Amino acid sequence: MKASKPASLLCTALLALLVLSFSIAVPILFRPFYYLQIDALALPERTGWSREVIREAYDDVLDFCVLGKPFSAGQLAWSEAGRSHFADVRVLFWADFAVLAATAAACVLLLILRLRGKLRFHRFLGRGPGFWAGALAAGLVAVVGGLAALDFERAFVVFHALFFPGKDNWLFDPAADPIILVMPEAFFRNCALLIGAVLLACCAGLILSDLFRRQRVSPAP
């Protein structure tokens, strides 16, 4: 069977989107990551609220953003502007989950077709889709991570300008929406670091699996 270049390009794009959407989903769905930071960022000392109150507020907001439950910030006050911003955040979260599910299903389908001998991927420059997907995603991490490292605060503003165009409800007033006090910029910076670490680990796995596969199929001298 002739190796398919279009299928290889499609698989590369799907794998890159899969690892990217998965990496973004990790800090969203893995709530213990936030719980560990309550003490690490000294949030009880900084806010005067107990660990339980802080955790409840975070869980309620995430329940709204992830599960679609009615909005609440636990025992903390909130404004309509704050709720509106988290409604926008929910749209982005659900879009990421949709991309994750769709790309995972598509990759499984391509894998089944390949295992059944109905599809063969072209290896550009001797490398398979996994290698190029890993290299593409890793390159994205390097570029975005490098720019963010130079000025994370500026990158934070640019991110909101891109994904919440024409809106300023993400500029929280702590008096009206004290939830922002338990979700400081340092927390979002740590989320970005976790996303980058997970993404790089996935990229390394894709690249190494392609390299090992090539060694296994290479003919003996």
Residue 219 has pLDDT above 60, yes or no: no
Taking residues 155-183, report their average pLDDT. 90
Residue 113 contacts residue 105 (beta carbons within 8 Å): no
What is the predicted pLDDT for the residue at 214?
Answer: 63
Phi, psi of 128 (to 5 degrees): -85, 180
User: With bands split at pLDDT 50, 70 and 90, how would you rate the model's confidence at 221?
Assistant: very low
Q: Is the pLDDT of residue 218 over 60?
A: no
Using alpha carbons, select from 210, 16, 216 the residue that is nearest to residue 128.
210
For the stretch 7-54, pLDDT in tens is 999 999 999 999 999 999 999 999 999 999 999 999 999 999 999 999
* Whether 136 contacts 12, CB under 8 Å: yes
- Which residues, in sequence order, are CB contacts of 97 under 8 Å at separation 6+? 21, 25
Task: Please check whether residue 26 is in contact with residue 196, taking contact to mean a CB–CB distance below 8 angstroms.
Answer: no
- C-alpha angle with apex 84: 90 to 28, nearest 5 degrees? 25
Instruction: Report pLDDT digits (tens) over 77-89.
Output: 999 999 999 999 9
Contact 141, 7 (CB under 8 A): no
DSSP-derived secondary structure for 127-147: B-HHHHHHHHHHHHHHHHHHH
Contact predicate 11/110, CB 8 Å: yes
For residues 202 and 100, the answer to whether their CB atoms sit within 8 Å is no
Tokens (6 digits) for 190: 């740590």
Contacts of 63 (CB under 8 A, 6+ apart): 69, 72
Round to whole Å and give the CA distance between 189 and 8: 35
- Confidence (pLDDT) at 213: 75
Which residues have C-beta within 8 Å of that of residue 78, sequence separation ≥ 6? 71, 72, 176, 177, 179
* pLDDT tens, position by position, 53-77: 999 999 999 999 999 999 999 999 9
Q: Which helix H or strand E contains 56, and what residues bound it?
A: helix 51-62
Q: What ranges do the domains of the chain cover?
A: 5-217
